Amino acid sequence: MDIKKRNQQFLSELDNNKELKATRDSLVKVQHPSLIVVCCSDSRVVPEKILSCSLGEIFVIRTAGNVINEGELASISYAIEHLHINHILIMGHTHCGAIHSVIHNEGFLYSDPIAKRIKHNILDIEDEKTASEVNASKEVEYLKEKFPDYQGTIEYKIYDIETSILY
């Protein structure tokens, strides 16, 4: 990928879209996102596109398998306490490579924290779709345990890669 060229395309978009440029300018010193999204790093699962979001709307944490380990928890904690976001969405998805690799015991260099977390969540489930759902729902439960005083909504949804429907 030609990084510089892609950025140039975005700069051209800003030049041609007054609303987008105004949004960008209004966000220079502050951000007020209304949703925290924890989703997979999978290149097909792009929360800004899936939820039709512009700059500044969602606070996104991406990790293979949309699991919450130490760094992810710290990011969420920041978003709750500092940005006062009252809605958290764990976005799992179908055809997840991380879930697949855990079910089929495929280890990767440095993948242990993620694999352990997924295994802890899905136990011996072998159906990948069910495993994605359980994995996401367990992270919802985990966040509810970690932030017992949180007044906002914590939920999960699954993005279907084949239909683009979030259910």
Nearer to Zn ion, 79 or 98 (CB): 98
Between CA 40 and CA 63 the distance in angstroms is 5
User: Interface residues for Zn ion in 21-80 (CB under 5 A)?
Assistant: 40, 42
Residue 67 CB, nearest distance to Zn ion (Å)? 10
**Nearby residues of 75 by Cβ (< 8 Å), 6 or more positions away:** 61
Between CA 118 and CA 123 the distance in angstroms is 8
Nearer to Zn ion, 80 or 102 (CB): 102
Between CA 31 and CA 72 the distance in angstroms is 19
Does 134 bind Zn ion (CB under 5 A)? Our answer is no
Between CA 155 and CA 144 the distance in angstroms is 10
Residue 54 CB, nearest distance to Zn ion (Å)? 24
Which one of the spans 26-34, 92-100, 105-113, 141-149 is the region binding Zn ion (CB under 5 A)? 92-100
Contact 159, 153 (CB under 8 A): no
Of the residues 60, 88, 89, 96, which one makes contact with Zn ion according to CB under 5 A = 96
Residue 22 CB, nearest distance to Zn ion (Å)? 34
What is the crossing angle of helices 18-26 and 3-16, to 10°?
A: 100
Residue 65 CB, nearest distance to Zn ion (Å)? 6
Question: Which residues are at the interface with Zn ion (CB under 5 A)?
Answer: 40, 42, 96, 98
